[in-house]
Structure 1
C-alpha cells in the first residue's frame, strides 16, 4: 500500500511540474511577442531552454550525489519558481533568454529525480505500466498548463504566479516521503558514434525532430499571435496539436510494431511536411483552417521521435540501449537548440509563415533519408522487436530511459536475433564496405 501511495504522490509531483512547464513555455512565447521582442530573441528563448535542459541532464546527477535526492529536488523546484517570478519582474529579452536556460536546467533535474524515484519502486512486472502512465500524465498535465493560459491570459502577474505555485507545490510529494532515497541518478551515457553505426535513420530522425518541433514549440505561438489569435485562441491551438499528437502515438506505435518502422517514419514525416507546405501556401487567418492544420501537424509530428527510438532499439546490441538513447537525447537537444534560432531568422527575413518552411524541410529530409536507408537494409522481424513505448520529444531525460521497460528488454534479446535481421544472401549481394556489412541501417 505504501508503495502505491508513493507512486501516486510522485505522479502528482510530476504532473504539477509539467503543468507549470506547459504554462510557462507558452506564456513566454506569447507575452514576449506582446512585449515586441524580436523574432530572433523569441527563438533564442527556446534555444536557451534546450541548452539548459541538456546541461541539466548531464550535470544534475553529480549534484544529487553530493546532497541527495530530496535536497536536490527542492533546490531545483525552488530555483524554477524563482525563475518564473523573475520572468515577471525582469521583462527583458536577454534576461528571458538567460532565465529560460536556468529554467531548462532545473526542469531537467527535477524531472530526472522524479523518474529516479519511480524507477526505484518499479520492477520488471510493472515497469511498462508505470512508464506508460507516467508519460500519459506528463502529456496531459503539460497540455492542461497550456490550456490554463486561455483562462489566465498573458497580461499582468497572475499566469506567472500560478506557474510558480505549481512548481513549488511539486516539492511536496518528495519532501514528505518517509521512504529511503533512491539509487544515484544515471549519468547520460552518450555515444553518438554508436547510435549512428546502429541506426543512421534514428540519428537523422532525432536531429530532424529537434529542428522541426523545437522551432514549432517555441515560435508557433508567435505565428498564431501574428495571425490575429488572442491568448485563449493560441492556448486552444496548442492544445489541439498536443492532444492529437498524444492520441496518435499509440496507433502509430503499434503499427510500427507490425511493419517496418521506417515505413511509419516515412508516412508520418511526409504527412507533416505536407501540412507544413500547405500552411505556407494557405497561410490561414485565425479561424477553423488554422486549427485543422495545427491538429494535423501535431497528429503527424509528435509520434515521430518515439518511433525513431523504437527503431534504434530494434538494432541495439545487448546493453547498448541506454548509450544509444543518450546519443539520441544529445542530437535531439542540439536540434531543439538550433531550430528556434534558424526559424526565427527565416521568419524575420520573410514572414511568420516561414516557420513552416523549416518544419516542412526537415520532415521531408527525414522521409527521404528513411526511404533511402530502406533500400540498403531490411527491417528486424516483428517477433524480434522490443515493443513501442510512447514518449515526449521535449522532456525526455537519461532517467526516462532507465525507467523505460525496453532497457530491460534489451538484455532479453539474443545477439543471434540482431544478426539474423540481415540474411546472408543479402549480405553477399552487397559491395565490400557497404552499410549493411558495416552494421548500419
Structure 2
C-alpha cells in the first residue's frame, strides 16, 4: 500500500482539489440562485442539468480516451471545468446556468473516468480494494472541505466562483506532472434494461429510487437551505452532514451486509433513512435536528448504492458482473436526472419541508418494495453472496467496474 501511495498521492491530491471545486459550485449555485430570485423550479432544472451531462460523459469518455489518450482528455475536460466555474458569475441566468451545468457535468464525469482508470492501473490485485476505498474517502473529504470555503467570501460576489476555478486549475499540475499515461480502459457495455430487471427487480427499482435521493442531496440541499432561510454557516454544515454520514456509515454497513440477507438490510437501512428524513420534515425549524436528519439520510443512502450493486451481483456469474453494474449505474443516472425536478416541484407545493417529504417518501417506497420482493424470491445463502465493496454515488461507472474487479479478486482469494 505504501508503494501505491508513493505513486498515486498526486492523483489523489488532484482529485480532492477537483472535488472541492465540484462541491463548492453546487452549493454556491443554490445560494446564489436564491439571491438572484430564481424560482425553485428554475433551480431544479439547473441542478438536474448536471446529471444529464454526467450520464453522457460516463459513456462517451472511454471512446475519447481510446482516440487521443488520457492526458489530452483530462487536460481538455479540466480546462472546460475551470472556464465554466468562472462563467457562472458572468452569465447569471437560470437557462444559461443549465447549459453550463450540462457541460460541467459531462466534464466532471469524464475526469472521473480518466482518473479512475489511472487509479486502476496503479493498483495491484492486493491493493485495489484499499486504493478504491482511499479514493472514495478522498472524494468525500473534498466535498466536505468545499462547504467550509462557502464562508470565506460573499456569495453575491465573484470570489467564490474564482476559488474553485483556481483549485481545479491547480489540480492539473500534480496529476499531469507525475502520472504516466496508461492504456485505455475498455468499458463494458451494460445489459439491456429488460435483462437487468429479470436479473434483479429490486436492484433496478432501488437504483432508480436511489438516483432520485442522491441528486436531491447533491443538487438541492443548498437550495433547501436558502429557501429555509439558513445562514451561510448553517448551509455549509447542513450540506457537509450528508457526506460525513456517508463516509462514517459506509464501511460498518458493508461489514454487516456480508453477514446477513442483504434485502433485509436494504429494507432496514431504507426505513432508517426515511425516518431520518422525517426528522428534517417535522423539526426543520430546529437546526440540530436538520444536521441529524442530513447525517442519517446521507449515511444510509450512500451505502444503499453499494448494497444494491452487491445484492444484484449475487445472482449473476463473475463474467456478467461488470455488465450488470454498468446497467445499474445507468438507471441510477436516469433517476438522478429526474430527482431535482421532482424535489423542486415538491418544494414549490409545500415549501422548503417538501425537500424532506420527498426524501422520506422515496426511501420508504424502497423499503416497501424490498419487503415485497422478500415474499416473492428466496435470498441466496450468505456463503454464496458476492463481496461488498464501498463505492460512492458521486463516482463514475469506471469506479463501479473497478469495484467489481475487486469483488472477483476477493471471491477468488476466498476459494483458493
Query: TM-score scaled by structure 1?
Result: 0.88
Aligned match of 2:370: 370
Aligned match of 2:275: 274
Deviation at 1:72, TM superposition (A): 0.8
Aligned match of 2:141: 140
Q: Given that residues 316 and 410 in structure 1 are in contact (C-alpha distance below 8 angstroms), is that contact kept between their aligned partners in structure 2?
A: no
Are 1:84 and 2:89 matched, yes or no? no
Q: Given that residues 389 and 407 in structure 2 are in contact (C-alpha distance below 8 angstroms), is that contact kept between their aligned partners in structure 1?
A: no
Deviation at 1:61, TM superposition (A): 1.4
Deviates more, 1:76-85 or 1:126-135: 126-135
Aligned match of 2:122: 121
Deviates more, 1:26-35 or 1:151-160: 151-160
Query: What is the alpha-carbon root mean square deviation over aligned residues?
Result: 2.0
Q: Given that residues 198 and 315 in structure 1 are in contact (C-alpha distance below 8 angstroms), is that contact kept between their aligned partners in structure 2?
A: yes
Query: How many residues are paired up?
Result: 411
Aligned match of 1:29: 30
Aligned match of 2:397: 398
Deviation at 1:349, TM superposition (A): 2.4
Deviates more, 1:87-96 or 1:316-325: 316-325
Cα distance in 1 between the residues matched to 2:377 and 2:101: 42
Cα distance in 2 between the residues matched to 1:389 and 1:150: 35
Q: Given that residues 276 and 292 in structure 2 are in contact (C-alpha distance below 8 angstroms), is that contact kept between their aligned partners in structure 1?
A: no
Deviation at 1:4, TM superposition (A): 4.3
Q: What secondary structure, in the 3-state scheme, does the structure 2 residue paired with 1:150 have?
A: coil
Higher helix share: 2
Looking at CA atoms only, which structure, 1 or 2, has the larger radius of gyration? 1
Q: Given that residues 280 and 289 in structure 2 are in contact (C-alpha distance below 8 angstroms), is that contact kept between their aligned partners in structure 1?
A: no
Question: How does 1:338-349 map onto structure 2 within 5 Å?
Answer: 338-349=338-349
Query: TM-score scaled by structure 2?
Result: 0.93
Question: How does 1:301-320 map onto structure 2 within 5 Å?
Answer: 301-320=301-320
Q: Given that residues 129 and 406 in structure 2 are in contact (C-alpha distance below 8 angstroms), is that contact kept between their aligned partners in structure 1?
A: no
Deviation at 1:3, TM superposition (A): 5.8
Q: Given that residues 318 and 411 in structure 1 are in contact (C-alpha distance below 8 angstroms), is that contact kept between their aligned partners in structure 2?
A: no
Alpha-carbon displacement from aligned partner over 1:169-222 (angstroms, at most 9, x marks no partner) = 22113321363x212133352213332222111111111111122123222222
Q: Given that residues 42 and 218 in structure 1 are in contact (C-alpha distance below 8 angstroms), is that contact kept between their aligned partners in structure 2?
A: no
Cα distance in 2 between the residues matched to 1:6 and 1:408: 20
Q: Given that residues 186 and 398 in structure 1 are in contact (C-alpha distance below 8 angstroms), is that contact kept between their aligned partners in structure 2?
A: no
Aligned match of 2:156: 155
Cα distance in 2 between the residues matched to 1:48 and 1:101: 5
Cα distance in 2 between the residues matched to 1:278 and 1:409: 36
Q: Given that residues 313 and 410 in structure 1 are in contact (C-alpha distance below 8 angstroms), is that contact kept between their aligned partners in structure 2?
A: no
Q: What secondary structure, in the 3-state scheme, does the structure 1 residue paired with 2:377 have?
A: coil
Question: How does 1:319-338 map onto structure 2 within 5 Å?
Answer: 319-338=319-338
Q: 1:3 to 1:128 in 2, by over 3 A?
A: closer
Cα distance in 2 between the residues matched to 1:170 and 1:194: 40
